[in-house]
A and B are shown apart, each in its own frame.
Chain A
Amino acid sequence: MTDDEDPVIGDGEEDWYGDADPRVPDASPWPNRDLAFLEEPPPQPEPSPRNPEAELRELERRVEQSRTPVYFDLHKRLPLEGVWRRWRSLAMWGRSDVVDDFGRDPRATARWEWLFEFLYSKWFRVQAFGIDNIPARGRALLVANHAGTLPYDSAMVMHAVRRDHPSRRDVRPLVEDTVFHLPFLGPVMNRIGGVRADPANAERLLEKDELVAVFPEGEKGMGKLWKDRYRLQRFGRGGFVKLALRTRAPIIPVAVVGAEEAAPMLGKVTWFAKNIGIPWIPVTPTFPWIGPAGLLPLPSKWFIEFGEPIDLSSAGTGAADDRLLVNKLADQIRSQIQTMVDGLLAKRRSPLFSAFLG
């Protein structure tokens, strides 16, 4: 039928459509209905002989397709999707998408490794003794003395065990609140393994058979002045002993020598510090005189000694609630670390010069 020829029209317009009325759904008569669904599906073209590259390309294409973000649009590719994807991969640089329960990021740890290695072997020239006292597996509580404006000592203890211990164990240092909540520094310490000093956190870590390092002097240890160097302060309230008793973890005393000279604190200013959220502003030979660079440590010579493990598991179950016993044990461990520190200090030939030229 050409366009010129009018179709034969009946009396009413409705008649013309007949069975094929497009306004009535499914009105085509039976024989004309599409019966394709009853028939065998057409034979699929035989897959070409295995071509790994093509298969990979096809797989990649399907992955690409499946990656369209639902937020922007479900079906259409959005104009900036390439930019968005590039941004996502860029933003993930230097961080991993899995961190452990306490926030240590393996990729970030690896990223800072060179800095610790430099500080350890070149800057502080650390010598570590008795590293074999740390068990190859199982929980243990490292108890160390504390000094310095920034916690370089915990970083060095951590690095010493990771570097020189035969099973390369990771130490989780407990970090005081004041340092943990410092802007920039706090998150970095958390990513490389630091944990906020909280009894619940420490207990959870020890239950998971990790190595935990505590610095029971805490803020008092960091706030020591130069004239009080290497005089150990009160060991908190003995919380670390309770922790060891409750979790039956052996205590390993650790003495760190050199941290005091790395950042000798000549004085501290408290009147403005509270306003910016820190307990004091340290005054060292370099800080704050030369600005933030003054926070860098001086290149003192360091010694770290790991003592024999002290097993407290014989003390019994109720021992953690015995305040007198806890305090006595805390003081014993404190004096043992003091003795170890004094021994290491005696190793240095002259107190001041060998502190730097070891």
Chain B
Amino acid sequence: MPSSTPSQGRVVAVTGACTYLGGELLRRLEEDPRYSRVYALDIRPPAEVGGKVDFIKLDLTQPTVDGELATLLAKTQVDTFVHGAFLSHPTHAAEWAHELEDVGTMHVLNACSGVQPKRLVMVSTTLVYGAHPKNPNFLTEDAELRGHRDSRFVNDKVRAERQVQRFAKEHPDVETCVLRFAPILGPTVSNMYTRFFSRPVAPVMMGHDPLMQFVHEQDAAWALQKAVDSHATGAFNIIGKGVLPYTTVLALLGRVPLPAPQIAWRQLTKVLWATQLVGSPPSFLDFLLYLCVADGARARRELGYAPRLSIKRTILDFLGIAPEDGATDVARAMG
């Protein structure tokens, strides 16, 4: 392991280096002269590793990983720890997911409380607010983390966030920052939403049409970079520009909506999930019923992040439709 020289620049460790955001962060830090060394922690090496990046194999589901991590952090004098080892889509291996997200975060925080890096950045999602009929149109960071009933995918992240909140309270010296990303869409990212929208048909809860919000993958990566750079602490919603009703999103995507009563969809998705035919659990249907849209004013104010790409541009980019295409209005351009 090469010894680091903190006097030359900042040293960053990134868990989940193989996720989309982790990989983008590595690439951006590689180009940034203020960072002298980046440690990519994951169970397999990231795709592109530059000269600054060192890959260290680390499995957060192992029971003694916190000790290993603490030794590593002490030896390498990491000053910024980015915790991004979270699943981007639900899995049937619920026990493993729990070990990785909830217990894995515990291991990370154990190591950080021993070594105390200057800064801790955690990657989370706005799904932790949960889709609820009582949600206001724009959820601020102070809103309750309702989580989501019957969804370990969301609730494990809520538990991880609670642990980080407690850690932040107990260790005021560590700048702790949580980024809650709106669902990320884009040409290269792969997560629950991109899989959901890749199917030619999509379920619609008959008579319901909530507003939806997406953040472009490049905007999301930029926000993560900003968060690593800055000294801001607390939770931040990382959102895209604008909202659109769910059925309009489907129309822009050219997906065929399949409207059916709620009960029918719930029963059908239960069967499809149990037989492992679809990647989204039945409880995800709540997000097609009620609002879960976050407010990005705090990130704009304190982090200096403002989304650059509109929701429509994000959707078209996900489809691979180039920006030259009829600048503002698809319906008119295609009519």
Residues of chain A touching chain B, judged by Cβ–Cβ distance below 8 Å, are: 62-63, 66-71, 74, 84-85, 87-89, 91-93, 95-99, 101-103, 105, 177, 181-187, 190-191, 195-196, 198, 200-201, 204
Contact = CB atoms under 8 A, between A and B. Distances in A.
Contact of A62 (B254, B291, B324): B324
Given A89-B330, A91-B257, A195-B137, 14 more contacts: A69-B254, A70-B187, A74-B320, A92-B252, A97-B312, A98-B244, A101-B137, A184-B207, A187-B207, A187-B208, A191-B245, A196-B291, A198-B137, A204-B137
B137 A196 contact: yes
Contacts, number: 121
A88 B208 contact: no
B325 A66 contact: yes
Contacts of B251: 88, 91-92, 95
A252 B137 CA distance: 25
Q: Is the interface of B mostly helix, strand, loop or mixed?
A: loop
A102 B245 CA distance: 10
Interface centre among A96, A187, A195, A201 (most CB of B within 10 A): A187
Interface size class of B (residues with CB under 8 A): 35 or more
29 contacts: A66-B322, A66-B325, A69-B320, A69-B321, A70-B187, A70-B319, A71-B319, A87-B256, A91-B254, A92-B252, A95-B247, A98-B244, A98-B310, A101-B138, A102-B137, A103-B245, A177-B133, A182-B207, A185-B207, A186-B208, A187-B245, A190-B209, A190-B245, A195-B137, A196-B136, A196-B137, A200-B137, A200-B138, A204-B138
A201 B331 contact: no
A67 B137 contact: no
B75 to A, nearest CB: 44
Contacts of B245: 95, 99, 103, 105, 187, 190-191
A70 B322 CA distance: 10
B172 interface: no
Interface centre among A97, A184, A190 (most CB of B within 10 A): A97
A84 B200 CA distance: 10
B211 interface: yes
Contacts of A84: 254
B331 A63 contact: no
A101 B133 contact: no
A69 B198 CA distance: 11
Interface in B233-270: 242-245, 247-248, 250-254, 256-257
B300 to A, nearest CB: 14
Contacts of A88: 251-254, 330, 334
Contact of A95 (B211, B248, B333): B248
Interface centre among B245, B312, B331 (most CB of A within 10 A): B331
A317 B242 CA distance: 33
B330 A198 contact: no
A89 B248 contact: no
B319 A69 contact: yes
